[in-house]
Amino acid sequence: MGKRIGILLSGRGSNFEAIAGNIRNGMLDAEIAVVISNREAAPGLATARALGLNAVCHPSKGIEREALDAQLVATLRQHDVDLVILAGYMRLLSPVFIRAFPQRILNIHPSLLPAFPGLDAQHQAFEYGAKISGCTVHFVDEQLDHGPIVRQAAVPVLAGDTAETLSARILAEEHKVYSEAIGIVLSGRYRIEGRRVLVEEN
Ligand code: GAR
C-alpha cells in the first residue's frame, strides 16, 4: 500500500482528479485517505464522492480560521495522513495547521514563483506581459506561496494567447508536475538545504 495523502480543495478539483488518475494508472504510489473541502458546493468534493473516496466538508463560512484549521488537522489525523496536498485550496492556513504537519504540506501555484504570488496568478502574468510563466509545486511554510520549491514547469506565453488559453496550458502542466512532486516527497529521495530541495536522481 502506498503512503496516505490528504487532499484539500475549494473548487473544480482538476488537480485532485489528475492525482487520482495517476494513482489509478500506477504512475504514483499513494493512497488518497481523505478529500476535504471548505465548500460543500465544490465540484471536487462531488468527484471524490463519485470515486468512492472519504470526502468531508468543513465549511469555512462563519468560523474563525484557527477553529477551522483545528477541524482540518483533526480530520487529517483521524485518517492517518502522511502528506497534505493543497489542490486549489483557496484559504490561508494558520500556523496551527502548518506546525501540525512540518514539511508535510505541498501546494501548487499557477506561476513560476516567486513571480506572481496570490490570487489569479495566470492573469497577473498575462497582464504583466511575461513571456514565460508556468507552475510551481512547493512546501508550505508560514508565508504565502513561499516555501521550498520541489518542481516547476515553464509555459511560454504565445502571441495569440488570452489569459484563459494560457491558464489552460499551465493547468495541463500542473496535472503532470504535481504527481511527480508528490512521488518525490513520498519516496523520501530528497533533502532540504535552506530553500533548496535537492532530489536524489535514481
Ligand atoms: C489551479 O490552477 C491551482 O494552481 C490554483 O487553483 C487552481 C485549482 O484548480 N491554486 C492557486 O492559485 C493557489 N494559490 P483545480 O481545482 O482544478 O485543481
Per-residue pLDDT of the chain (202 residues; tens, 9 = 90+): 789 999 999 999 999 999 999 999 999 999 999 999 999 999 999 999 999 999 999 999 999 999 999 999 999 999 999 999 999 999 999 999 999 999 999 999 999 999 999 999 999 999 999 999 999 999 999 999 999 999 999 999 999 999 999 999 999 999 999 999 999 999 999 999 999 999 998 6
Task: Please give the pLDDT value at position 201.
Answer: 82
Element (DSSP H or E) covering residue 69: helix 65-78
Task: Let me know how long the chain is.
Answer: 202
Could you tell me the distance, in angstroms and rounded to a whole number, from the CA of residue 52 to the centre of ligand 1?
23
Domains of the chain: 1-102 (3.40.50.170), 107-202 (3.40.50.170)
One-letter identity of residue 81 = V
Active site residues: 109
Task: Please give the pLDDT value at position 95.
Answer: 97
134 CB within 6 A, ligand 1: no
Task: Enter the C-alpha cell of residue 152.
Answer: 516547476
Helices (H), the chain: 14-24, 43-50, 65-78, 95-100, 121-128, 163-187
Q: Which atom of ligand 1 is found nearest the CA of 11?
A: 16
167 CB within 6 A, ligand 1: no
108 CB within 6 A, ligand 1: yes
155 CB within 6 A, ligand 1: no
Ligand 1 atom 17: the closest Cα is on which residue? Answer: 14
Q: pTM surpassing 0.85?
A: yes
Task: Please give the pLDDT value at position 99.
Answer: 97
Task: Please give the pLDDT value at position 83.
Answer: 98
Q: What's the rounded Cα separation, in Å, for the pair 1 and 139?
A: 24
Task: Please give the pLDDT value at position 2.
Answer: 84
